[in-house]
A = this chain, B = another copy of it.
Amino acid sequence: MTIGESKDFSHLYSDETKARKPSPLKTCIHLFQDPNIIFLGGGLPMSDYFPWDRVQADSPLPPFNKGIGAPVSGEADDTLRLALRKNEITKAGETQDIPLSRALQYGFSQGQPELLSFVREHTAMIHPMQYSDWDVLASVGNTNSWESTLRIFCNRGDTILAEAYSFSSSIYAAEAQGINVFPVPLDEFGIIPEKLEKILDNWNPEAAKPKLLYTIPTGQNPTGSTLSDDRKAEIYRIAQKHDFIIIEDEPYYFLQMDPYVKDPAKRAEKTVSSHEDFIKSLAKSFISLDTEGRVLRLDSFSKVLAPGVRLGWIVGSKKILTDYLRLHEMTIQCPSGFTQSLVAGTLNRWGQDGYLDWLIGLRHEYNEKRNVTMDALYKYLPQVPFIKVSPPSAGMFFTINIDASAHPEFATKYQSKPELVEQAIYDKVIEHGVLIVPGVWFKANGDTQPPQPAESKVDVAPNEIFFRGTYAAVPLDKLQAGLKRVGEALYDEFAVTRE
């Protein structure tokens, strides 16, 4: 099957993007490589004066048989020792490294070639692409990628769509820029396509249509929900119908897990073992449905390697990425050279197969964390109909959903206001020595006028509140102890009698 080229979406650009000129210095940069030209053009310090001659890093060796968290000895049987030189000499057939003299110099705003080639190959393996002129661009993580996205597309006064509960920093970044964040109803399977379509079909014809849909499809923050493949296809169709761009922010994509099995005896030890099975088990991405270049995928190493590497990448059409690149030249320039050379050096030595081994190992760890969490929630939380939990299938988060009206003092002490019950539970849980986060902190409070058809109402159950917790951050014993405390706080607050 031959696939076509991406479409042009520059009609959706911000005034800023339309006005941004490339630096005239870029017009002569090709002469930098010309052996006949002595290049006295750019203010580049000589790499002779970079003070690091050699950088070395130890990581575990694929296939990580002892688990991805096992410490390494520093010996050759379990340790990969990466050694980078300032002036690397790579022999034919050897793993390609980024020499420090290049990694620590200006240039390569798109990212260093050795990193990009790994990321491209990985992307093609996980997300079979449906148009030809796609590419990747390095970023310093999805926070940066999302902020760049807002600058690329949105003017003050524009409206974007987002899940009704979403990552608060992402929402606040948009709001500070004067962008209205219109909340889209979601349930435990993510955005509800029918509701989204009705909102847009009923959009006030005098108001500008939303330019973007911001979504965290996998292991959504804060709800922990994962958007089904069917819904994605529906949403993509709606995006085409109403001409908006889909931004899939996917930091948790590789934290997908096996379905939760309540009976420990019936749990398979490892449901995914081969690389093929693993790739097959993953949710279909928006980018892999995209035939037009209408989707931008924000990917990151933060949750799969380490947040402090500050390294992510954007997948999208070359046309649009060119404009991100121009923006980056005036913002971050490029990710840290230490980061790029250490991450690329490690990944190129692990290889695509080794990286899949790592991701499978990670899945295994998160499976266990999720299982321990659900087991503990079922064990320690009051078994009452007004407190609900549902096992997440991806991500770092679980939610505890509560019908606030079931509180014995709902109408009296709390004046029938669910948000006051929410605050009281938050305080009570802290009193019991554990911290989980109230759902209201994640609410997209954007103006829902112009349209606001009745169907777009977010709160199907207006007294339902929820709390977000994470199983990612602490070891298993602490996790169990923490969830026990949450249970005790709820028994206490709701005056539930223990059986």
Residues of A bordering B, CB below 8 Å: 15-17, 19-21, 23-25, 28, 31, 36-60, 68-69, 71-72, 74, 79, 102-106, 140-141, 143-144, 147, 156, 168-169, 172-173, 175-178, 221, 302-303, 305-311, 329-339, 342, 346, 358, 362, 365, 396-397, 430, 433-437, 441, 469-475, 478-479, 481-483, 485-486
Asked, given contacts A69-B48, A308-B336, A330-B172, whether A53 binds B59 with beta carbons under 8 Å apart, the answer is: yes
Asked, given contacts A143-B330, A433-B37, whether A43 binds B472 with beta carbons under 8 Å apart, the answer is: yes
Measured between alpha carbons, how far is A398 from B334 in the docked complex, in Å?
27
A47, A330, A475 pick with most chain B CB within 10 angstroms = A330
Contact across chains for B59 and A51 when beta carbons are under 8 A apart: yes
Contact across chains for B437 and A144 when beta carbons are under 8 A apart: no
Contact across chains for A103 and B308 when beta carbons are under 8 A apart: yes
A41, A105, A175, A485 pick with most chain B CB within 10 angstroms = A41
Q: Which of B102, B176, B302, B397 contacts A330 (CB 8 A)?
A: B176
Contact across chains for A58 and B68 when beta carbons are under 8 A apart: no
Q: Which residues of B contact A143 (CB under 8 A)?
A: 329-333
Nearest CB in chain B: distance from A193 CB, A: 27
Contact across chains for A310 and B331 when beta carbons are under 8 A apart: no
Contact across chains for B470 and A38 when beta carbons are under 8 A apart: no
- In the complex, residue of chain B having the shortest beta-carbon distance to the beta carbon of A84: B57
Measured between alpha carbons, how far is A47 from B441 in the docked complex, in Å?
26
Measured between alpha carbons, how far is A20 from B365 in the docked complex, in Å?
37
Contact across chains for A436 and B51 when beta carbons are under 8 A apart: no
Contact across chains for B24 and A168 when beta carbons are under 8 A apart: yes
Asked, given contacts A38-B485, A437-B25, whether A46 binds B472 with beta carbons under 8 Å apart, the answer is: yes
Nearest CB in chain B: distance from A345 CB, A: 11
- In the complex, residue of chain B having the shortest beta-carbon distance to the beta carbon of A86: B71
Asked, given contacts A140-B140, A143-B333, A338-B336, whether A104 binds B308 with beta carbons under 8 Å apart, the answer is: yes
- In the complex, residue of chain B having the shortest beta-carbon distance to the beta carbon of A31: B435
Q: Which residues of B contact A54 (CB under 8 A)?
A: 57-58, 74
Q: Which residues of B contact A169 (CB under 8 A)?
A: 23, 25, 329-330
Q: Which of B19, B49, B473 contacts A176 (CB 8 A)?
A: B19
Measured between alpha carbons, how far is A395 from B20 in the docked complex, in Å?
28
A-B contact pairs, 24 of them (CB 8 A): A15-B156, A25-B441, A38-B434, A39-B435, A39-B474, A40-B483, A41-B436, A44-B472, A45-B303, A45-B307, A45-B472, A48-B69, A51-B358, A53-B58, A55-B55, A141-B333, A169-B329, A309-B336, A310-B333, A310-B334, A310-B337, A311-B336, A336-B338, A336-B339
